[in-house]
Structure formats: C-alpha cells, structure tokens
Amino acid sequence: MLLAVVGLTLGAAPDSAVAQSEDGGYFSDDDGSVHELALEALEERGVLAGIECGERLICPGRPLKRWEMAVWLVRVLDDADPAPLDVSRFTDVDAERWWAPFVERLHGLRVTFGCSTEPALFCPDGEVTRAQMATFLKRAFGLEVAPSAGFSDVSSGPHASNINALAAAGITGGCSRDPLEYCPHQLVTRAQMATFLARALGLVELPAAVRFTAIDAGYGHSCGLRADRTVACWGDNRSGQSNAPEGEFLTVSAGGSQSCAIRTDHSVSCWGSGHDGSTGALDGLFQAVSAGYGPVCGLRTDGTVACLGGSSNVSAASDGQFKAVASGLFFSCAAPVDRAVTCWPSRDTGENDVPDEPLVSLSAGSSHVCGLRSDSTIACWGNNFDGQTDAPGGRFRAVSAGGEHTCGLREDRTIACWGNGHSGRIEAPRGEFETVAAGGTHTCGLRANGIVLCWGETADDRSRPPSGQFAEVSAGRFHTCGLLATMTIECWGQGEGGRTHPPAGEFTAVDAGSNQTCGLRTDSALVCWGESSVVGPRAPEGHFDAVSVGGSSSCGLRTD
C-alpha cells in the first residue's frame, strides 16, 4: 500500500511561514517570531533550562547541537532530568559535563545509537540536520511509517521514511511550498526544533494554510478545503480538474474530470472538463454540491435540487425538498426529507434499485450508491461485482462510495473499507480520522490535526511494513527492510532470491537495494543477503561504519 501524505503535500506552508504569537514572552530575542509560542511553551515546561545563550536569550537562529537535542528530547520524554553519570559509553562524551547523562539516557531510550559504533562516538558538538532531526523525532515519539509525503528533495536514504512519518504526524510542512521541499540537508535551528517538538506534543497547531477541514476523492484526483477556506487539489489534472480557483469556499467535491465547490456566498464554481472555474455553474444558492463522473448536482438552500451535465434531467427529483444529493457515473441520486431515495436516469446497473426507506446521507460511486440510515447503519445498492455494496454491520459516522470500493468511518473514528482491493485502496491506515473519501482507485482520510493521508493507486507489498517500532527503514526496488527497536532486521515485499530473509542477530544499520540487502552488525561487521549473483558468497571482512546497496553492487565505508 502506498501511503501518501497530501494534507501537507499540497498547500504545505513552510515551517516559518505563519506567525504564532505577537506578544512578548520570557525570551527577548524571539518576540514576533513564528516560533515564539513554541519556544515559550517549552521554556515554561523547563525543557530549555541550561540552553540559554544569555539572560533571557535563546538565540533562536543558532543551529542545534546533538547534545542539546539530547537534553530537549530526554526532558520531553521523561519529564525529568536523569541522574548523574559516572562513565559514558561514548568516548567523546565527558561524564562530568552536565548534559552527559542526557546523552546516555537518549541512548537508553534507543533514540540514538551515536555517530559511530567503533569507536563509540556521539559527536556531541555536531550540528543536527533536518533529516537527522526527523529520525530523532520518529524514534522518540514512535511515529507510524508513512511513505512518500511528496517532498521533491526526499526520495531515498536512511532518513526518508522518517521525514515522511514526520509529515504524516503533522509535525512538519516542509521548507518550501513551490516546489514542495523539506531541505533535509539544512541545519535545524533551535527555533525550528522548538516548533517541531511543540507540534509533536500538541502544544501548537499547524497554520490554517496547511490544515484541511474537509476532503473529497474523485476518480483520479482529490480536493481538500483548508482551514483558511481555500481549496487545493492534487492528482490527475489532464482536464484541469486539479486547478482549483482562488477565493474562499465552504465545501468542495471532486468528480471524474471535474471538481466543484461552494463559495462563501453559496454560489457554485466548477473547474475541469467543460468548466472554467467561474461562479454560477449552477443557478441559485447552494448548501451542498456533488461533482460526479459526468453530471454535477447541487442541493439549494431551499432544499431543491439542480443539475447540469450528463443525466441532468432532474424531473425525478423535482417535487418536494431534499436533504442530500450525490452524482456518480452518468447518474445522480437525491434523498428526500421524508421518503425513499430517488435516482435518475433509469439504468440497468442497479443504481435505481433503491431501498424503501429514508436515508440521511448519500454517496455515489461509479455504479453503486451508499447512504446512512437514521440509526447510523449503512445501506448500499447497485453494482456489486467486487463486493462494494456488502457493507459491514455496526454504526458509522460517514460513508463514501468510490469507483469499485466503499469506505466508512466507524463510531470509534477508525476506517473500514470493502470492495475491490487492488492497489491497496481498501487498506486503511490505523488510527482515528475525522472523515474518509473513497475515489476511483484510491482513498483519503482526514486526521483530527488537519492532515490528509491517501492510499491506493500504484501500491504493492513493498510499501506495507509489518507491525512494530522501527528505528530505520530502507526501501529497495522490490522490497523493504527495517531495523526494529530491538536492533533486529525485518524485511517484506518480493522475496525472490532471499532478499527478504535477513539473518539473525543485532544490527545498527540496514540498506536495501534492487535484489539484495546488507546490514551492519553491532560489532561493525558487514553481512549481505539476497541474490548471490549480485552480493557474492559473502560480504568483505573488516569493520565498517556505513553501507550502501545499489542496483548491482554494494559499498561499505570502513572504520579506517
């Protein structure tokens, strides 16, 4: 399953883009800074004690050192300072330095293994890059693996999956919006680190330009409504369906090759195939709109329905008032206030076989429809070739019908999906969500922190890790391997040639290539596995600090 983070991927504000506070606080050199609120929050908790660079000075633009990172993280994780240290495991850490116990404790928490294993070094005065910071935070907070956040400068390497996990958790929005970049090699400043930590602790939230409040998934694209009421779309844009217009909106709907949204004045704007983004796509004032795979239908504020495009004849929905409307592939449905759902035009794919009961909400897929009953259970009808109408029992908060699959948000805010499972579109990630949107071949979910996660499309087993807490993940061409917190290795994906069968023992690093994998043992020895034609009968002898595996060769950096 390919899990993409699009809440931050599209419209992601840089980490320094929006001011958090304009009031002066404890530190005099952060007033008006975008990071002031985070710095002050950490200072109040005692996290920054001893880190000041002068009286009421924090030097927010100074690059963070590794020993400072240790102090901050240990205080956050343990809510206390560690006991004094007699002897340090790291040869370059003087046990008498006041911060030495923090470094030792950070190793005990398995957040760091140092910068070298033989000799054991921590490099305390080394400055932390944004990539390294992501790995520290991923380990410290046990963040879930979340491949491909969409950063153009993050594609591979030992920190890539940790950067993506950081984005999925809503801790970072990157360093640039256009192009979307993370700047992994830049040094992280004290101020930036304060904001990262404060977000991880829930002390500050992402700016409105980053957070989403609503989402919808079309056939090959998705759209979201941000907290600042602007719309962002991503994915297939061959008809311009992802080119959202400027302005403020109340809701958004993604269809086949078109998208529509309701502006704050309750007019409808559509863009994509046959639309130019101007207002007045539908006549009147609207409270809801549904952009289907052909038709577009809207529910006016007076409860009447209006449609345009394919199957726009609304004679079946001309009488009475309605509370919901949904458009699918060349058909539309509406839910009256006091009677059963009506769908039009008449087709032989089952959309007209509506249940004889009122429904409170509707969602139309390519050739099936689902809705919520008043008791919060799900009713589905129409094409069931892939089981997309076989809704599970239980109570749900929302339901969304996709191309050939359906997803629902349960009462406990977890997501359940059923139907066509190709490309992992029904493999919902764990955790709680605010809403779910099923598209043509993908699905998106909205987290409470305003971050959107999407899955499906071009996924396969190589991006579906097993359960467990990983300290490091490396993705090869056909498989993936991870270094667990227990310092053992686990691999998954295509296992031809033994590439997913790591040896037993403890490791400090792992790197996966096309057909082979190599790991660095705790004694600095190198071991490789996979196709013998590539890796040879055994890895070279000696002690190594690092290893890199490519398509047809592997290289190691010796300790000398």
| pLDDT value of residue 378 | 96
Q: Is 130 helix (H, G, I), strand (E, B) or coil?
A: helix
90 in the same domain as 179? yes
Q: Are residues 142 and 185 in the same domain?
A: yes
What are 306-353's pLDDT values in tens digits? 888 755 455 445 566 888 888 888 788 888 887 888 888 776 666 778
Q: Please list the ranges in the chain whose pLDDT falls under 50.
A: 1-2, 5-22, 312, 315-316, 458-468, 533-537
The three-state secondary structure class of 41 is: helix
pLDDT of residue 494: 67
Q: How far apart are CA 305 and CA 287, in angstroms?
A: 10
Residue 6 maps to a domain:
no
H runs (alpha helix) in 169-256:
190-200
Instruction: Note the pLDDT of residue 476.
Output: 61
pLDDT digits (tens, 9 = 90+) for 517-556: 888 888 888 888 887 644 444 577 888 766 766 555 567 7
Distance between CA 190 and CA 27 in Å, rounded? 13
pLDDT of residue 534: 45
User: From the centroid of its chain, how far is CA 113?
Assistant: 27
**3 state SS of 134:** helix
**Burial readout 121-131 (b: 16 or more C-beta within 10 A, e: otherwise):** bbebebbbbbb
205 assigned to some structural domain: no
How many beta carbons lie within 10 A of that of residue 310, not counting itself?
A: 18
For the purposes of burial, counting CB atoms within 10 Å of the CB of 376, is it exposed (0-12), middle (13-18) or buried (19 or more)?
middle
In DSSP terms, which residues pair with 557 in a beta bridge?
A: 546
pTM: 0.57
**Domain assignment of residue 2, yes or no:** no
Q: Are residues 291 and 404 in the same domain?
A: yes
Q: Do 45 and 161 share a domain, yes or no? A: yes
Does the residue 327 lie in any domain? yes
Q: Tokens for 289?
A: 């709109």
Q: Do 186 and 278 sit in the same domain of this protein?
A: no
- Look at residue 168 in the predicted model and tell me its pLDDT: 80
286 within domain boundaries:
yes
Q: How many distinct structural domains can be found in the chain?
A: 3
- Is 427 found in the same domain as 308? yes
Q: DSSP strand E in 415-530: where?
A: 415-419, 435-438, 442-446, 452-456, 470-475, 479-484, 489-493, 507-512, 516-521, 526-530
> Do 184 and 295 reside in the same domain of the chain?
no
The range of the structural domain enclosing residue 60 comes to: 12-200
Side-chain-side CA neighbours of residue 104 (13 Å): 20
